[in-house]
Amino acid sequence: MPDRQIGKEIGISGVAVKSRIEKMINKKIIEEFALKIEPPVLGYSVLYFVVVGKDLDDIMGKVKLVGEPFFVVPCVGGITVCSIVVRDDPTKKMELAKNLLREVRVLSIFEAKNPGIRSDLTKTDIEIIDILLDDPRLKIEEIAKRSKFSTKTVARSLEKLQNDEAIQFTLIYNPKHMDKIIPFAVLVGVKGDIRSTRIKLEKQFSSSFLQKPFVHENQIVLFMHTDNIYRMDDITQKIQEIDNILSVDLFIPKTITLPQEWVKSTIEQAKRSKKLHLLSEIHS
């Protein structure tokens, strides 16, 4: 999205937007820009873990024996919230994870069920995604130069990706560098229609969002902010009152990471395929 378009939406100039983004990058508030792809589209199931333990390296070492990390969020109080992608039977993977993590306190392990999102990604889209994984902010002209596609082809693919529910242009921020802003995350369990629940959450709480929610069939992860720790609890209670909400868990993150190794390896496999569409490769 061009700086001037962002500025138009929030009421400042494009020059001011660019300046503020650069300032946040220099202050390390914005750590990186990222392309987030829903694992089920690439043929994976998703498991969530909420564990308590001081040795994050040991916890993640054991988790990686089960699957590749999707996102990892160490939180205040020694709690780690993370999710992993797995190819095989997720139920068996959960049992394996419980055995591996028996020496730490496991608050929850569960599967975020396949949301049934289908993305008709072509070989051209895959080539462009591969380039964007390294820098999601590249201009159309630079993508065209690297991919050897026309700017018209790149623009058409980018529009398609931006409108795809399974793909999100996002960023990773550092909670420790946000001064007076208190970032927090809310893990919401949902029964019934996930989309209508998400719309209700966005309508009521979007002014407190730090970024678009991470959504799966029965789970929504809200990344939020406040300037008052007591208001944080108030927001969490109000979320609980919304229809179709099964559970609400509040976490205060210390760092957030979105590992991309699993995406890059899958994209590399797709690029080597002779088939024109990624989905036919996944489900064949």
Question: Do the domains spanning 39-112 and 179-251 agree at the CATH topology level?
Answer: yes
Angle at 171 between CA 165 and CA 174, to 5 degrees: 140
Select from 24, 43, 44 the least CA-distant residue to 32. 24
Distance of alpha carbon 168 from alpha carbon 188, whole angstroms = 19
CATH 3.30.70.1150 assigned to 179-251: yes
With 0-12 / 13-18 / 19 or more C-beta atoms within 10 angstroms meaning exposed / middle / buried, residue 16 is: middle
- Contact criterion met (CB below 8 Å) for 205 and 224: yes
Half-sphere exposure of 72 (CA within 13 A, CB side): 13
Q: pLDDT tens digits, residue range 141-183?
A: 999 999 999 999 999 999 999 988 889 899 999 999 998 899 9
The three-point CA angle 196-230-203 to 5° equals 20
128 within 8 A of 149, measured Cβ to Cβ: yes
Counting residues of the chain whose pLDDT is more than 70, the rounded percentage is 93
Q: Which pLDDT score is estimated for 281?
A: 41
Domain boundaries, the chain: 39-112, 179-251
Per-residue confidence band for 284, with pLDDT thresholds at 50, 70 and 90: very low
* DSSP per-residue codes, the chain: --HHHHHHHHTS-HHHHHHHHHHHHHTTSEEEEEEEE-GGGGT-EEEEEEEE-S-HHHHHHHHTTT-EEEEEEEBTTSEEEEEEEESS-HHHHHHHHHHHTTTSEEEEEEEE---------BHHHHHHHHHHHH-TT--HHHHHHHHT--HHHHHHHHHHHHT-TTEEEEEEE-GGG-TT-EEEEEEEEE-S-HHHHHHHHHHHHGGGBSSPPEE-SSEEEEEEEES-HHHHHHHHHHHHTSTTEEEEEEE-BS--B---HHHHHHHHHHHH---SBHHHHHT-
Phi, psi of 122, deg, nearest 5 = -90, 175
Sheet holding 79-86, edge to edge: 68-74, 79-86, 45-52, 105-112
Give, rounded to a whole angstrom, the gap between the first and last alpha carbons of the chain. 36
Provide the token pair at 142: 């630079």
Give domain 39-112's CATH architecture: 2-Layer Sandwich (3.30)
User: With 50 as the cut, is the pLDDT of residue 217 above it?
Assistant: yes
Amino acid, single-letter form, for residue 155: A
Mean pLDDT confidence for 251-272 = 90
The pLDDT of residue 14 is: 94
Lowest-pLDDT choice from 59-63, 139-143, 211-215: 211-215
pLDDT digits (tens, 9 = 90+) for 102-156: 888 988 888 876 555 666 888 899 999 999 999 999 999 999 999 999 999 999 9
